[in-house]
Structure 1
Amino acid sequence: MRVDAANNKMRLVRAVRDVISEQGRAAVTAKEIACKAGVGTATLYRHFENKDTLIDEVSIVRWMQMEQTARQGAQMGGSSLEDIIRTLDFFTRMINADNQFIDIVGVKIGWSPEPIRPIRRAFETPFTDMWVRCQREGAIRRSAHPRDAIDMAGSVRNGERRLQMLTMVVGGFCTGAVDAEALVHDMVVSGKLKARTSF
């Protein structure tokens, strides 16, 4: 895809997220979305079959960013537990930034519509690799499942208490050998949890 076409596509994704957050799903037209993106309606339909596929693209982009974050963590060779926490932190930041859009379109925690499933599975591969490595190292409980951690992080919707809630999620899957509260606090103080919040 050419750079200008890719930029137009991302402008449309941002625009649909923003317009729906402001006006609701039913009231928004393709023309309003295209106008907000600064492109023509024909450009919208060149990239997306209809408004619903454009709405799905918001989640696809979100999971693509999650996959990128998890793959970077898996490749960096540092602490897998820190990389897991960094990924969960990034997810909670995105969820909080897009909270109104998520509520309006009715995205449910733990469930992905068919178009989103392949990219979510692509994210789950490197995330699960880090998770299993942490289980082998004794940092994560054997009974804890990586998908549960993601779903719990996805339910962290209170921006003011986001960090405390993330700490509780982390504490829930770490073994007693890990001081989850101190680890998350240290990562915040060191700036390791500062990341972009959305696209």
Structure 2
Amino acid sequence: MADRPLRADARRNRERVLEAARELFAASGIAVPLDEIAARAGVGPGTVYRHFPTKEALFEAVTTARLHDLVEFARARAAADDPAAAFDEFLDRLTEEAAAKRDLPEAFTAVGMDGLAPAREELFAVLTVLVRRAQEVGAVRAEIRASDLLALLKGMLQAAGESPDPTVLDRIAVVLRDGLRPPAPQRINLSTDTPGGRAP
């Protein structure tokens, strides 16, 4: 039997809970107490549990929406005229979001939250397109796969989530970008001169 539509007041309460959870999960991650979310929403803990039976279910609802925002951002750039710029823009957006919202790194690395799986799969699919197109124009190393990039991104986001240093994400992101670029051709010195400028 299909679920009954929520009454207007129940819908309002659900939206208030989601809004409070978005704010608090972004600030503190999944560790934020459920009672604090209920207080921010102006409802009792029982109201939260009626809509979301566990804190994990509420976290999944909030972070699935964050992942879908990333998916839509990536899809909008998947057919861009400049694949290299499109790939960089996605990495910029991911870095900015992760720096501002502590729950995004947890959405990538959380274990046992099956509700996040469909959004992760969508992100992987569009990431595959961005990587392939960036490789076609020589902006990303040819041997890199989307699964490799996702593993690197998870590591970067986990490190950022565990560090109290707000600048660590930017530093790791720079190293990640440098590592993804194809190696520059080695210069061959054809000169017979010694470093001092004279032949031996």
TM-score of the superposed pair, with normalisation by structure 2 = 0.66
Paired residues of 1:16 and 1:54 also in contact (CA < 8 A): no
Sequence identity (%): 21
Shift of 1:67: 0.5
Alignment partner of 1:135 is 2:135: yes
In the alignment, structure 1 segments of 5+ residues that lack a partner are 179-199
SS at match of 2:118: helix
Alignment partner of 1:159 is 2:166: yes
Match of residue 173, structure 1, among 176, 180, 191:
180
Shift of 1:140: 1.7
Q: 1:23 to 1:71 in 2, by over 3 A?
A: closer
1:115 corresponds to which residue? 115
Alignment partner of 1:78 is 2:81: yes
Shift of 1:54: 0.8
> What root-mean-square deviation, in Å, do the aligned CA atoms of Structure 1 and Structure 2 show?
3.6
1:8 corresponds to which residue? 16
Q: 1:150 to 1:9 in 2, by over 3 A?
A: farther
Q: Deviations over 1:40-98 (max 9, x none)?
A: 546534542222201223331221121121112114x2322222222122222222223
Residue pairs, 1:1-199, within 5 angstroms: 7-8=15-16, 10-17=18-25, 21=28, 24-25=31-32, 28-29=33-34, 31-39=35-43, 41=45, 43-75=47-79, 77-99=80-102, 109=109, 113-154=113-154, 155-156=156-157, 157=160, 158-176=165-183
Q: 1:140 to 1:167 in 2, by over 3 A?
A: same
Cα distance in 1, alignment partners of residues 107 and 147 from structure 2: 16
Query: Runs in 1 of length 4+ with deviation above 6 angstroms?
Result: none
Q: Which moved more, 1:166-175 or 1:155-164?
A: 155-164
Instruction: Tell me the amino acid that sits aligned with residue 119 of structure 2.
Output: I
The number of residues matched between the two structures is 170
Q: Which has the larger radius of gyration?
A: 2
Q: 1:86 to 1:4 in 2, by over 3 A?
A: farther
SS at match of 1:138: coil
* Larger RCO (CA under 8 A, 6+ residues apart): 1
TM-score of the superposed pair, with normalisation by structure 1 = 0.66
Paired residues of 1:74 and 1:129 also in contact (CA < 8 A): yes
In the alignment, structure 2 segments of 5+ residues that lack a partner are 186-200
